[in-house]
Amino acid sequence: MRQLDRWLTGIHADKRVAPQAKKVAANRPADLVDACYPASGTRIIDMDRCAQLFPIASDARLVAGSPLANDVLKCTLKPVDLNNYAMNLLGEQLDALEEIFPEGVCDWTRPGVGQVPLGGTWAFHTGDGAVRYLRSAN
């Protein structure tokens, strides 16, 4: 968290006239990199080694059509519909889907349940109880 705080503080303090993306890139702490931590607690920054230690075949939500943002906690449901699948499902397969998902399947084309638009990005607290954004969503 300290690294993220340093990064955001640096972006906020950067008063240069430059695109926000350039400020974000320029102020990233050099030691803030992707890493994994096996049970030993050793920090590993070799992502190939991390993939060997923590193999993931795929992300079920992404395979099902979830947005890359991964910001939906509970998806909006739609009925199971044979026309929504690229492959031809047999009657038994469709029956199984309806049995497994009696309330429906995720409709990734709609916002999640209770999901609201972002107020902005790179939020920071002003110290007086208010929150400001370096970039407003408006």
Amino acid at 134: L
Say whether pLDDT at 1 is over 80: no
Q: Express as a percent the part of the chain with pLDDT over 90.
A: 49
Give the model's pLDDT for residue 69: 83
Would you call 75 exposed, middle or buried from its count of C-beta atoms within 10 A (0-12, 13-18, 19+)?
Answer: buried
Residue-wise pLDDT tens digits, 76-132: 999 988 888 888 888 899 899 999 999 999 999 999 999 988 777 777 778 888 887
Say whether pLDDT at 62 is over 70: yes
Give the chain's end-to-end CA distance (angstroms, integer).
27
> Do 97 and 64 meet the contact criterion of CB atoms below 8 Å apart?
no
Give the model's pLDDT for residue 31: 87
> Do 93 and 119 meet the contact criterion of CB atoms below 8 Å apart?
no
Tell me the average pLDDT of the chain. Answer: 88
Give the model's pLDDT for residue 125: 79
Work out the pLDDT band at 138, boundaries 50, 70, 90. Answer: low
Tokens of 55: 């193999």
